[in-house]
Structure 1
Amino acid sequence: MDNKLKIILLFSLKLAYAICCCVPDQWEGRLAIKFGEIEDGRLSAGWEFYNMSFDAINQKVAYVGHIGVDYSEWYEQVIQDYSKDKLTVNFYQFTLNETSIEISVVKESCVPVTQHVETKAAVGEMHYIGVAEGISNKKVFDIPLSCQNQTQSSAVSVLA
């Protein structure tokens, strides 16, 4: 996914929670992203699936997962649970600098459920799955040994 779109998605998530409600300080879950974009006249589409940890207290976010881009064909099956346990969400929609943002969060706890962002050249959709308050393994934020001598670049500092 284009870095600009990732920054827009992360920025819109941070902005939406500042405007809409108070997200828990620490939470973790799984994140699924579908995206499509046009860059230099070329259409690109793909998916990303991560285990995600969000720690506002220590200002850290960790994603560990897989990415697929520009498959010519793929199969998708969506199953939604309409059992007795229902999830009540609040839905927020707003536009910021020609970027359309839609966010849904659990009504009682403000935990994120979905996020949809559209610009003139890109569309991104994020789904948060299995979110639980707190961080079960703080080592997820440790930089792997193989990366410790690398030059670091962070989009998070842009968003702070």
Structure 2
Amino acid sequence: MTAFLLGGCSVMVEACCLPKQFECTAGLQNATFRGGKLDVSSTVFMHSVDLVNKKVSYVGQSFKIVQDYNKMMQYTISQWYCRVSKLTTPIHDCMPANATIATSMAMGGPKGIMMDVYDIEKISPGARLPFKGTLSLNQEGCVPFSEILKTEGSIATLAYVNMTYGIKDPSVFDVPSPPCPKDTDNFVMMQYTISNGYCTVNKLMKPIDNCISANATVATTVDMGGPKGVTLDVYNVEKISPGPGIFFKGSIAFNQEGCIPFSEILMTEGSYATVSYINMTFGIKDPSVFDVPSPPCPKDTDNFVTSLQQQPAPSWPILPSLP
């Protein structure tokens, strides 16, 4: 039993503990106000929580997040890229002993429900969360109902609907490799993407080749630049790079003289990009262009699990950290 102070009165209530296993649909509506403009967006994702096996997942149309609290690892997969980070706080299925209810309220009329509302910062201390807000739980069963999350210039409302108990398909917690590296990997066949002080580590799917595959066929051959120009062989990108992980279609053109890359056309749903290779020189002037900065990236000699960047995450498993 835990004592909560409500309206100046000390009220004895039972400790609030989440169901051990549950799944639901989460609807998120986010309003952002910047530069005098209001932007409203919505997204829906499936949310699975397994407190028995200490795993949490968020699965949306274009992303998947798996939090494995046995390994204290978070995997964020989006468009065949994987960002791996360390979780900083163990998972808990019950409210902290010193948690206090900010307010209680009835919703849905006489036959509706009673909800307890908590301050998020109070129930997940020390996690350095990027937001503030409130979490509402149904008093009957300590079932998540809704959240309001606030950051500078934005406010988001999150609702949990169509909840069921148990985990229908445990594969929602599977981490695909590739693109995610395995815990046993020793930084072999890795790609490092560094941006804004963050490092994304991905497992490469196959060795590099310096020759077009033997069974590749030229889609077409064209002359460019007039009589003294160049003759180009054009290949279908999918044909010369088969296998999973290529999220675009298109073509790549090579100068027949020397098999020199000339240009590419890359297409995804809703976008079209042209890449041109210009001012080419042979040799590597400065080998440091291949150096991987550490930090933020782990070193090749580091243990994979202990070397990753920390990911602040709440100990309460229903507060999302979406990409």
Short-chain TM bin: 0.5 to 0.7
Query: How has the CA–CA distance of structure 1 residues 30 and 90 changed in structure 2, closer, same or farther, with 3 Å as cutoff?
Result: same
* Cα distance in 2 for residues equivalent to 1:21 and 1:133: 17
- Structure 2 equivalent of residue 26 of structure 1: 21
Match of 1:121 among 153, 169, 191: 153
Match of 2:18, SS state, is coil
Query: How has the CA–CA distance of structure 1 residues 95 and 65 changed in structure 2, closer, same or farther, with 3 Å as cutoff?
Result: closer
CA contact (8 A) 2:32 2:155 kept: yes
* Cα distance in 2 for residues equivalent to 1:34 and 1:155: 29
Query: How has the CA–CA distance of structure 1 residues 90 and 155 changed in structure 2, closer, same or farther, with 3 Å as cutoff?
Result: farther
Query: How has the CA–CA distance of structure 1 residues 157 and 84 changed in structure 2, closer, same or farther, with 3 Å as cutoff?
Result: same
* Cα distance in 2 for residues equivalent to 1:44 and 1:156: 30
Match of 1:151, SS state, is strand
- Structure 1 equivalent of residue 113 of structure 2: 87
**What is the one-letter code of the residue matched to 2:151?**
T
Where is the helix percentage greater, Structure 1 or Structure 2?
1
Matched, 1:134 2:166: yes
Query: Please, what is the CA RMSD of the aligned residues?
Result: 3.7
Deviates more, 1:88-97 or 1:137-146: 88-97
CA contact (8 A) 1:26 1:54 kept: yes
Match of 1:140, SS state, is helix
- List per-residue Cα deviations over 1:5-55 (Å, max 9, x = no partner): xxxxxxxxxxxxxxx822123211100000123468875431110111012
Query: How has the CA–CA distance of structure 1 residues 37 and 101 changed in structure 2, closer, same or farther, with 3 Å as cutoff?
Result: same
- List per-residue Cα deviations over 1:50-80 (Å, max 9, x = no partner): 111012333322222247xxxxxxxxxxxxx
Structure 2 unaligned runs (5+)? 1-14, 63-107, 123-127, 182-200, 204-307, 316-323
CA contact (8 A) 2:178 2:202 kept: no
- Structure 2 equivalent of residue 45 of structure 1: 40
Residue 111 of structure 1 deviates from its aligned partner by: 1.2
- With normalisation by structure 1, the TM-score equals 0.60
Higher-Rg structure is: 2
Query: How has the CA–CA distance of structure 1 residues 95 and 40 changed in structure 2, closer, same or farther, with 3 Å as cutoff?
Result: farther
- Structure 1 equivalent of residue 11 of structure 2: none
Query: How has the CA–CA distance of structure 1 residues 94 and 55 changed in structure 2, closer, same or farther, with 3 Å as cutoff?
Result: closer
Query: How has the CA–CA distance of structure 1 residues 39 and 56 changed in structure 2, closer, same or farther, with 3 Å as cutoff?
Result: farther
% identity of equivalent residues: 23
Residue 88 of structure 1 deviates from its aligned partner by: 3.2
Any residues of structure 2 matched to 1:101-116 within 5 Å, and which?
Answer: 101-116=133-148
- Structure 1 equivalent of residue 49 of structure 2: 54
Q: Alignment length, in residue pairs?
A: 126
- List per-residue Cα deviations over 1:84-137 (Å, max 9, x = no partner): 963332233466699542221111111101000123322111000011222121
* Cα distance in 2 for residues equivalent to 1:28 and 1:94: 21
Match of 2:149, SS state, is strand
Greater length-normalized contact order (CA 8 Å, ≥ 6 residues apart): 1
* Cα distance in 2 for residues equivalent to 1:141 and 1:112: 20
Query: How has the CA–CA distance of structure 1 residues 63 and 99 changed in structure 2, closer, same or farther, with 3 Å as cutoff?
Result: closer
Structure 1 unaligned runs (5+)? 1-19, 68-81
